[in-house]
Structure 1
Amino acid sequence: MFGIVLSALNAALAWLVRSVLVKFATYFALWFITTEFIQVLQSAGVFPTADSLTGSLGGIPAAVWYFLDLFALSQGLPIVLAAVATRFIIRRIPVIG
């Protein structure tokens, strides 16, 4: 009776170590590398700042802004920039990209 319980406990512990802990450690390492990589890129000045975007978009005439607002550029541009940045970061991860 004790051997069966010990065998079941050993199987459960092996499953816990193989599937849960190893995956958690792997995904945590990928998450940590990705978040630190973003901070390094921000400190290096790779991403544009709010002032540079304001300056570049400030020269657009009012007639063009009408159509940009019509196509909801103010909502779509941050989404597209976030998607491009996420794609860039995911492509740099050796296991995934």
Structure 2
Amino acid sequence: MFGILVSAFNVVLGFVMRSVIAKFFAYFVMWFITTEFVSVLQSAGILPTASALAGAFGSIGSDVWYFMDLCSFSFGAPLVISAYATRFIIRRIPVIG
């Protein structure tokens, strides 16, 4: 009976060590590389800042803003920009993409 329990424990321990812990470390490394890559891009000035975007949108007239608000531009534009940035980051990092 003791041998069966030890064998079952070894199978469970082998599964946990091979799949769960190995995948955890692999995904943690990918997450860490991604977050550090974004911070490097921000510090290098490659990614636009909020003040640059505010300056670009500051010259748009109120009549154009009315139609942009009707189309929910304030919700859609950040959504599209973040989606494109995420796609760019995922495709450019060799470990992930």
Fold match (TM-score > 0.5): yes
**In the alignment, structure 1 residue 75 sits paired with structure 2 residue 75:** yes
| Structure 2 gap ranges (5+) | none
Equivalent position amino acid for 1:44 in 2: A
Deviation at 1:95, TM superposition (A): 4.4
Deviations 1:14-40 (A, max 9, x none): 000011100100100000000111100
1 CA distance for matches of 2:5 and 2:55? 70
Deviation at 1:52, TM superposition (A): 1.0
TM superposition score normalised by structure 2:
0.92
1 CA distance for matches of 2:42 and 2:63? 34
Identity %: 61
Indicate the SS of the match to 1:51: helix
Which residue does the alignment assign to 1:57? Answer: 57
1 CA distance for matches of 2:26 and 2:50? 34
1 CA distance for matches of 2:9 and 2:43? 49
Deviations 1:62-86 (A, max 9, x none): 2211111111111111111111111
| Structure 1 gap ranges (5+) | none
Whether the 8 Å CA contact 1:34–1:89 is kept in 2: the answer is yes
Whether the 8 Å CA contact 1:41–1:47 is kept in 2: the answer is yes
Whether the 8 Å CA contact 1:30–1:93 is kept in 2: the answer is no
Which residue does the alignment assign to 2:17? Answer: 17
The ranges of structure 1 where at least 4 consecutive aligned residues each deviate by more than 3 angstroms after the TM superposition are none
Residue-pair matches, total: 97
